[in-house]
Structure 1
Amino acid sequence: MKLIDMLHPNLPKISGSSICFLFVYLAIWTGLNQKIFLAFTATTLTGFHFSMTALIGLVSNATGNSTRKKVPLWELLWFSVVANTSITGMNLSLMLNSVGFYQISKLSMIPVVCVMEWILHSKHYSDKVKISVLVVVVGVGVCTVTDVKVNAQGFICACVAVLSTSLQQISIGSLQKKYSIGSFELLSQTAPIQALSLLLFGPFVDYYLTGKLLASYKFSSAAFFFILLSCSLAVFCNISQYLCIGRFSATSFQVLGHMKTVCVLILGWLLFDSELTLKNILGMAIAILGMVVYSWAVEADKQTESKVSPLPKEASEENVELLKQQQQSDGSPLKDVELGKSQP
């Protein structure tokens, strides 16, 4: 099967087992990157990740495995600025703040995404969805947040990181819908711009963060292998983000994304002898419960919306009057055209 067939917007529904496999895979990729970041520069490595993604997109377009739908250059540039601000902001936030506050800032992305979707796209959420999101936030907070220390610079960087990351994820979905473009098609157009800008400015950002020059890094065959492996895995990580947001929403991606946090804790305990306390286990249980409730709440809302079929607002007065007469003659309840409510 061609890669583009798997990434086409008219795919069948993604199964639950596929989602679980996806986030276990992301957890392994995250663990690998954490080991590489100890010796290599994070922002520049992200530039390598997008370079590999851009290369895969170029090959796919050249071989005819993907269609080429154009997105205006100014949209791609704007998106790349927001996305790169997100990457830089998250790195600065992690450097300037404690790990606990960094985790809190990541948790705040869920409500921020909800508010931004409401402001930008007039999207509303039911009480069931809001409660389930709160449960997820509390659960992940219990198992990850420890010490919380913050300063003015760190707080500003965290705010910039949260806002830019939320806007970037919302933009992924809106651009796909606006231009009727598939996940991989959009990624193949944004990746080259992000790769070029991150490779140009990434070394300077990393020098500010770590005080180390990229030229001083000693490459070995093992280091080259793991960097190449990280770049290869990053291609699928980037695709999964665009695919999940395009298929579901930025909010759903944030909620499901915290499954990665749970997987990282479990795999760290299984593979790297990391400590797993009762507090961690309790938090993971609460988070998983919240994710299950969120899935149920979203599905319930979809079924409720499918049962409601409001009349078009542009219906003429004559058509409305004819409908009223027909409803009255049948003895069925009369539905208010504007309010969508039944009248006796």
Structure 2
Amino acid sequence: MEAEKKPPVVSDLGAWGMNVVSSVGIIMANKQLMSSAGYAFSFATTLTGFHFTVTALVGWISRASGYSASKHVPLWELVWFSLVANTSITGMNLSLMLNSVGFYQISKLSMIPVVCLMEWVINSKHYTTKVISAVVVVAAGVGICTVTDVEVNAKGFICACVAVFCTSLQQITIGSFQKKYSIGSFELLSKTAPIQAVSLIILGPFADYYLNGQWLFNYSFSTGATFFILLSCSLAVFCNMSQYLCIGRFSATSFQVLGHMKTVCVLILGWILFDSALTIKNILGMLLAIMGMVVYSWAMESEKKATAAIPRNKSDMLDGEDVPLKSRLSGVPSDELDLEDGPMKS
């Protein structure tokens, strides 16, 4: 008899909600922390190192208290994953610095087709016409409401390509590791966070100096800046955790579509909290993106139902009218017959 499966601690909807709320919250906190009108903390790479330091600390406390178990994952795979993840972070920062905001947004939009292509190549995953159409609608809507000026140069283009490739590979690898090693999302995050934290804390100040020409050691930490750094780090724990949860339960493609929902939320909150401009073009783009997300959810649900309807074992194939005639005539149970010549062979 199979062991009874325990219900997940966090539901699928809860994982989505945690990711949206924490991601939007950390963007708002970082905007206040890093903007010139706020505390001018322009050390994005080092701040990410702080994020992973706090995440690693939470993971250590969780294991020490017995809340989470530790499963073996080869060290070289953890180092490889951390290298890809850190290259993604650095590449995104360089892309934003070297390119216009418009091209940076286009590079982020390109992650959806890149993730789809990589999942097709690596995991042999196929997508229905409905899903592809919905993804195109989402990308078009977000493009309309976010892309403005588009300027690019050779260095910026290379950085954008590296960032898109590494980010897509990182998100696919998260799901692959969880299945390969039967490890939970938080346990995997607890193993990768310390490596990323150490490497980013060491290399972050140099990367930030290259990006903005300022040293972290010369920054004057005020009470307000310290508060927002701690707030950003706290939100980062939930953001990282929910990212692993979402990709582990769904797919990297679904996570990218969710990411564009966060973009819409950020635009709306920026308009409410920071008096950002909101034009008719932005509104129409948001509506188109939201419509695409609804269609995507419907398409994925239809795909799940279609997959569930496909017979997966011998008992499914032998249900009802599919029972072999030989079994009906002899009265012998169908599962005792030789099925070598039948529709399926176990």
TM-score normalised by length of structure 1: 0.87
Please say if residues 310 and 337 of structure 1, whose CA atoms lie closer than 8 Å, have aligned partners that are also in contact.
no
Amino acid in structure 2 at the alignment position of 1:37: M
**1:97-108 alignment runs, 5 A limit:** 97-108=99-110
Deviation at 1:302, TM superposition (A): 0.7
- Please point out which of 194, 197, 205 is paired with 2:196: 194
Per-residue CA distance 1:220-271 (angstroms, 9 max, x = gap): 1211111111111111111111111111111100001111101101111111
Deviation at 1:274, TM superposition (A): 1.2
User: Aligned-pair RMSD on alpha carbons?
Assistant: 2.3
Query: Mean alpha-carbon deviation: is it higher for 211-220 or for 134-143?
Result: 211-220
Find the aligned partners of 1:336 and 1:12 in 2 and give their Cα distance. Answer: 43
Structure 2 residue runs of 5 or longer lacking an equivalent are 1-5, 315-321, 330-340
Please say if residues 19 and 238 of structure 2, whose CA atoms lie closer than 8 Å, have aligned partners that are also in contact.
no
- Please point out which of 143, 154, 159 is paired with 1:157: 159
Find the aligned partners of 2:16 and 2:200 in 1 and give their Cα distance. Answer: 29
Q: Secondary structure at the match of 1:137?
A: helix
Q: Secondary structure at the match of 2:12?
A: coil
Query: Mean alpha-carbon deviation: is it higher for 24-33 or for 79-88?
Result: 24-33
Deviation at 1:55, TM superposition (A): 0.4
- Please point out which of 264, 282, 298 is paired with 1:280: 282
Matched, 1:180 2:178: no
Please say if residues 311 and 337 of structure 1, whose CA atoms lie closer than 8 Å, have aligned partners that are also in contact.
no
Deviation at 1:219, TM superposition (A): 1.0
Indicate how the Cα distance of structure 1 residues 167 and 182 shifts in structure 2: closer, same or farther if over 3 A, else same: same
Indicate how the Cα distance of structure 1 residues 214 and 88 shifts in structure 2: closer, same or farther if over 3 A, else same: same
Indicate how the Cα distance of structure 1 residues 327 and 302 shifts in structure 2: closer, same or farther if over 3 A, else same: farther
Aligned pair count? Answer: 318
Deviation at 1:29, TM superposition (A): 1.4
Q: Secondary structure at the match of 2:253?
A: helix
Indicate how the Cα distance of structure 1 residues 147 and 92 shifts in structure 2: closer, same or farther if over 3 A, else same: same
Query: Residue in 2 aligned with 1:253?
Result: 255
Q: Secondary structure at the match of 2:160?
A: helix
Query: Mean alpha-carbon deviation: is it higher for 18-27 or for 127-136?
Result: 18-27
Query: Residue in 1 aligned with 2:120?
Result: 118
Query: Residue in 2 aligned with 1:129?
Result: 131
Find the aligned partners of 2:65 and 2:104 in 1 and give their Cα distance. Answer: 43
Matched, 1:289 2:291: yes
Query: Residue in 2 aligned with 1:315?
Result: none
Please say if residues 140 and 287 of structure 1, whose CA atoms lie closer than 8 Å, have aligned partners that are also in contact.
yes
Amino acid in structure 1 at the alignment position of 2:141: G
Please say if residues 9 and 247 of structure 1, whose CA atoms lie closer than 8 Å, have aligned partners that are also in contact.
no
Query: Residue in 1 aligned with 2:338?
Result: none
Amino acid in structure 2 at the alignment position of 1:53: T
Amino acid in structure 1 at the alignment position of 2:29: L
Please say if residues 18 and 238 of structure 2, whose CA atoms lie closer than 8 Å, have aligned partners that are also in contact.
no
TM-score normalised by length of structure 2: 0.87
